[in-house]
Amino acid sequence: MNSTRMKIIIQDEWTSMNIEELFRNIWEFPKKVMHELRMDKAVSVNGQVINWNTPLKHKDEIIINLRESHDVDTPSPHPLEILYEDDYLLAVNKPAGMATHPNENEKNSLVNAVAYYLQSTEQIHKARHIHRLDKNTTGVVLFAKNALSKVVLDKMLNDRKIKRTYWALADGIIKRRKGDITAPIGRDRHHPTRRRVSKTGQQAITHYNVLETFLKENLSLIECSLDTGRTHQIRVHLSYIGHPLSGDKLYGGSAHFQRQALHARKLEFTHPFTLDNIQVIAPFLDNPPIFEQFL
């Protein structure tokens, strides 16, 4: 097992709380994790191992020594655009044609590229993605740098405290400028990878806002946000309302582009350990360009 040190400075809002309250109520660490940290005496404050019920002061320094697995993803060198990085997390810009995480036959995923970046910068961390993008969708993907960061960020994502905004070019002129698509999504029995709107599927809600329409090209530039994160959600929902993503052959889109015109444009959240307001915007990566010509 490797050991990773995680340093957290007590913010003014947490003054007078104790370690127990911070771990349980603010960051909602699992009971098993808290038990292991307590048994390992893995938590110190200003260099001292203290009682977990001792009130904390503003700017106290908490150090958590984490037991980390040796199991690190295979590093694979690949150009990587880092959009945001600190001691706890990493946001990167995923290009088209790259899977978010590796499968049995493929080791050139974004996870492998991030593993290479971390190794090359002498950071002993396992790359842990918080969410995924389809292989041919571009944009920002968030990674945690240790197991505790992942627990907290996973919970934030699940509680919709991490806002993800997508830009898309949809076929046709969408008449309604703003709308919500509420339709459950399930597997398509007739296709191994396709999804479809299905009464027996999982609840899925997509909000969209038409930014601009282009009559000549018969395209609508839209901004989407999700209340749920179902596989292919935006692609399925836009196809369902008769405006599939341009370039999305799987869901009936036109052949306007060589990939589905979907880009994870922005990520916004309050940093769980610094309380900073984080906003990450992902530049467009396509060559030849897809979105730039319509801005």
Tell me the per-residue pLDDT of 144-183, one tens digit each, with 9 for 90 and over. 999 999 999 999 999 999 999 999 999 999 999 999 999 9
Among 68, 89, 113, the domain-final residue is 68
pTM given for the model:
0.93
The rounded distance, in Å, linking the Cα atoms of 4 and 125 is: 8
Asked if 155 and 232 count as a contact pair (C-beta separation under 8 A), the reply is: no
Asked if 220 and 213 count as a contact pair (C-beta separation under 8 A), the reply is: yes
Helices (H), the chain: 19-21, 31-39, 110-120, 147-158, 233-240
Q: Is 90 found in the same domain as 123? A: yes
* pLDDT score, position 70: 58
Signed CA dihedral, 179, 182, 186, 189: sign only? negative
* pLDDT score, position 270: 98
Which residues does the annotation mark as catalytic?
A: 134
Using DSSP's 3-state secondary structure scheme, residue 279 falls into: strand
Share of the chain above pLDDT 70, in %: 98
* Domains: count for the chain: 3
Establish if 197 belongs to a structural domain: yes
Q: Is 276 found in the same domain as 138? A: yes
Q: Is 204 found in the same domain as 176? A: yes
* pLDDT score, position 163: 96
Q: Is 138 found in the same domain as 52? A: no
Confidence of residue 139 (pLDDT cuts 50, 70, 90): very high
Q: Is 281 found in the same domain as 215? A: no
Q: Is 255 found in the same domain as 273? A: no
* Average pLDDT estimate for 132-150: 95
Strand 61-68 with 43-45, pairing: antiparallel
Confidence of residue 87 (pLDDT cuts 50, 70, 90): very high
* pLDDT score, position 151: 94
Residue given tokens 């968030």 in the structure block = 142
Q: Is 173 found in the same domain as 56? A: no
Mean pLDDT of the chain: 93
3-class secondary structure per residue, 212-225: EEECCCCEEEEEEE
- Quick one: DSSP state of residue 245? B
The enclosing domain of 52 has a CATH number of: 3.10.290.10
Q: Is the pLDDT of residue 75 over 90?
A: no
* pLDDT score, position 10: 97
Q: Is 59 found in the same domain as 8? A: yes
Confidence of residue 104 (pLDDT cuts 50, 70, 90): confident
Q: Is 140 found in the same domain as 279? A: yes
Q: Is 251 found in the same domain as 137? A: no
* pLDDT score, position 71: 65
Confidence of residue 74 (pLDDT cuts 50, 70, 90): confident
Among 34, 68, 102, the domain-final residue is 68
Signed CA dihedral, 186, 187, 189, 190: sign only? positive
Residue 22: give the domain boundaries: 2-68
237-284 pLDDT, tens digit each: 999 999 999 999 999 999 999 999 999 999 999 999 999 999 999 999
Q: Is the pLDDT of residue 205 over 70?
A: yes
The rounded distance, in Å, linking the Cα atoms of 226 and 206 is: 5
Establish if 75 belongs to a structural domain: no
Which residues are CB-contacts of 180 (< 8 A; sequence separation ≥ 6)?
205, 206, 207, 208
- The residue with greater pLDDT, 167 or 190, is 167
39-49 pLDDT, tens digit each: 999 999 999 99
Q: Is 193 found in the same domain as 152? A: no
